Chain A
């Protein structure tokens, strides 16, 4: 066999291997086994399996569910399948300061453990952003948002807007 023909066979073989690998990953059931996070309804429907292991729970912060304790050290909220008020949700307790973008109806992924009492204790709270990028609406000034919200309360603890 000439080197040229051999190389063509090599090319064919490599392409076949690559194609098979891709097809396996794209159409195989890898997605079912490699789940980055569980939705609240999935977590609730296999509760026993979910206890005590470190897992991730992903969903939307249920409107009206965000609560801080007196000292503002503990944050509690409910993660729901979607933003509808009647959708299934899980009670989450977090001890860390959430990212600034945390709010009602935003997508979050929490890492932690789920206990028998139905409380998910989060060690890590992540906010996930959608693929939308929008300019501020008429009258909105993102850089001044903080000042209007915390009128009179802007002290040293509040990070100053770094905009020049």
Chain B
């Protein structure tokens, strides 16, 4: 009898398998423009993002070579001199949503997330990033933005272009996650 109960318990537990949401084509943009100078902005449309709806754990990975600039020379300088993308090809974020209950998601809700952002070989903790989660059928749409300092990621801007690049970078994201 005991074993039967145990077996049933096991079965019912596997019934509540992890509910995962995933995208491989999320959008991540950053901008470090200074007014009246040429726009310093790039967009990556092949960002991976995974959300575990059971516990609010979130992970994201952007391949740095996937950031596209309007200006080809700017893209080359970004890859070779600033992000050094051959040496540090990945940018990652791992974190957990606070007060998150996957089952009670409906419409548009705002959450905050704490986590660790790694870029250019440097990991920093980010706190209380606001994220809007919108549930649309079997999809979750995550949008938001935050600001990081270039100097926090061990990136040196040469003095000749110093006044053309903002010291803080606005990062915005838009992930449409499909239920898996």
Chain B associates with chain A: no
